[in-house]
A = this chain, B = another copy of it.
Amino acid sequence: MTGNRTGDEAKGGDGFGNRSETRAEATAARIVGAARGLFLAKSYAEVTTDLIARAADVTKGGLYHHFPSKESLYLSMMLEELDRKRLLFEKAVAMAGDSRERLARLTRDFLDLPTDERELMRLVRRDINIFDGVERDQLVRAYQRALPEQVEAILRDGIRDGELSVADPRLLSWSFVALVEIVIGDYAHRALGDTGARLDHVLELFFGGAAARRVGAAV
Q: Decide: A43 near B129, CB < 8 A? Known: A179-B179, A207-B210, A212-B162.
A: yes
**Complex contacts, A176 vs chain B, CB 8 Å:** 210
In angstroms, Cα B202 to Cα A74, docked, is: 35
- Whole-angstrom distance between the alpha carbons of A183 and B176 in the complex? 13
A81 to B127, CA, bound (A): 24
CB pair B205–A208 under 8 Å, yes or no, is no
* A115 CB within 8 Å of chain B: no
Quote the shortest CB–CB distance from A170 to chain B (angstroms): 7
**A 197-219 contacts with B by CB, 8 A:** 201, 205-213
Determine if B164 and A210 form an interchain contact, defined as CB atoms under 8 angstroms apart: yes
CB distance from A25 to the nearest CB of B (A): 32
CB < 8 Å: which of B130, B165, B175 contacts A182? B175
Residue of B nearest to A174 (CB): B182
**Number of chain A residues whose Cβ lies closer than 8 Å to a Cβ of chain B:** 37
Q: Identify whether the interface residues of A are mostly helix, strand, loop, or mixed.
A: helix
User: With a CB–CB cut-off of 8 A, which chain B residues contact A165?
Assistant: 210-213
Closest B residue, CB atoms, query A44? B45
| In the complex, chain B residues whose CB is within 8 Å of the CB of A130 | 43
Q: Are A207 and B205 in contact (CB under 8 A)?
A: no
Smallest CB separation, A165 vs chain B (Å):
5
Q: Which B residues are CB-close (under 8 A) to A162?
A: 212
Which chain B residues border A213 with CB–CB below 8 Å? Answer: 165
* Known contacts A45-B45, A129-B126, A178-B181; is-contact A192 B210 (Cβ 8 Å): no
Give the complex CA separation of A210 and B162 in angstroms: 11
Interface positions, chain A 2-44, Cβ under 8 Å from B, are 43
Question: A120 → chain B, closest Cβ, in Å?
Answer: 15
Residues of B within 8 A of A43 (CB): 129-130
- If A171-B187, A171-B188, A178-B181 are given as contacts, then 10 extra A-B residue pairs at C-beta distance below 8 Å, sorted by A number, are A155-B210, A162-B212, A164-B210, A167-B210, A170-B187, A171-B182, A172-B210, A174-B182, A175-B182, A175-B205
